[in-house]
Amino acid sequence: MENLNEKKGMPLLGDSFPAMTVQTTRGVLDLPSHFKGKWFVLFSHPADFTPVCTTEFIAFQQRYDKFKALNCELIGLSVDQVFAHIKWEEWIKDNMEIDIEFPIIADTGKVAEILGIIHPGKGTNTVRAVFIVDADAKFRIILYYPQELGRNMDEILRVVKAMQISDKNKVAMPANWPNNEILKDRVIIPPATDVKTAKERLKKAEEGEFKCYDWWFCHKELK
End position of a domain, from candidates 121, 151, 181:
151
> What is the C-alpha separation between 153 and 63, in angstroms, rounded?
8
Stretch 18-31: mean pLDDT, rounded? 95
Residue 6 located in a structural domain: no
Cα torsion angle, 66, 155, 160, 28, sign: negative
Domain co-membership, 86 together with 183: no
72 labelled catalytic: no
Residue 98 located in a structural domain: yes
Residue 4 located in a structural domain: no
Q: Which domain holds residue 178?
A: 170-223
Domain co-membership, 133 together with 176: no
- CATH code for position 144: 3.40.30.10
| pLDDT exceeds 70 at position 3 | no
- CATH code for position 201: 3.30.1020.10
Residue 119 located in a structural domain: yes
Domain co-membership, 39 together with 131: yes
Per-residue pLDDT, 5? 47
If you average pLDDT over every residue of the chain, what do you get? 90
Q: Assign 36 to helix, strand or coil.
A: coil
Prediction pTM value: 0.89
Instruction: From the candidates 53, 72, 212, 218, give the one annotated as an active-site residue.
Output: 53
